[in-house]
Structure 1
Amino acid sequence: MAAAKNVSDETKNEAMKVAKATQKPGQTKERTKLIAAGIEKGIAEYKKQHKNKARDRDRARKQDIKAKAKTAPTTESETSEVTAQSNVHLLPWGLLVISWIGFIGFSLMK
């Protein structure tokens, strides 16, 4: 009876509609009410399971976010930024040195 108190009126009405829709000729009102009660319990159980699954999915999603936040940004992004910055600074100097070597080499060949 404790489970019946937690069931909403909407669920009770929906269960009664389904029970009446599947009612067979000559079926008593008590039998229909018992069927509706069974459907009510099924709907309540389904909602409970659905709620638990949603809660579990939410927990897993939050744990994934926390795990990614702890590992990814601090180590990988900092090292890639340092590498990218050092390569950017070396490129112009490297091209300058190569051009001067080429200029000196061309001047000596004449």
Structure 2
Amino acid sequence: MSRNSYQESSPQTQEEALKIAKSIQRPAQTKEQTKLIAQGIQQGIDLYKRQQKEKARELSKQRKKLAKQKASEIEQDNREVVEIIVYHQHWLPWALLLLTWLGIGIYSFKLYSL
């Protein structure tokens, strides 16, 4: 089954189109002509609504895409921070501690050996 791309208009749209057609009706115009004008107005309204829905869908897609992009950027930034933070101790404090203990050991050995 092939799906028909034309969808029926809502009753509100039909009423609105008929009101507009009657408001611009000429004195010598027949009811059939008024109905044809109302149908044209109704098609225009439907087309406008379809276009607005398409625009809304496109904007929604773009917003979702931007949100995903921002989330991935934030995630990458977090990864970089984790990778950058590396704990590394310098050798100088350990060398000074070793020299201090060695000096205390030598001093105490000389003091008690006398």
Q: TM-score range by the shorter chain?
A: 0.5 to 0.7
> What aligned pairs does 1:2-81 form with structure 2 within 5 A after superposition?
3=6, 6-75=8-77, 79=81
Q: Deviations over 1:17-67 (max 9, x none)?
A: 000000011110000000000000000000000000000000000000000
Letter of the structure 1 residue corresponding to residue 60 of structure 2:
D
Letter of the structure 2 residue corresponding to residue 61 of structure 1:
R
Q: Secondary structure at the match of 2:25?
A: coil
Q: Secondary structure at the match of 1:62?
A: helix
- Divergent runs of 4+, >2 A: 76-79
Q: Which runs of 5+ in 2 are unaligned?
A: 86-114
Identity %: 44
Letter of the structure 2 residue corresponding to residue 46 of structure 1:
Y
Larger helix percent? 1
Q: Which runs of 5+ in 1 are unaligned?
A: 84-110
Q: How large is the Cα RMSD of the aligned pairs?
A: 2.4
> What aligned pairs does 1:76-95 form with structure 2 within 5 A after superposition?
79=81
Q: Secondary structure at the match of 2:41?
A: helix
Q: Quick check: which has more Rg, 1 or 2?
A: 2
The Cα of 1:72 is off from its aligned counterpart by 2.3
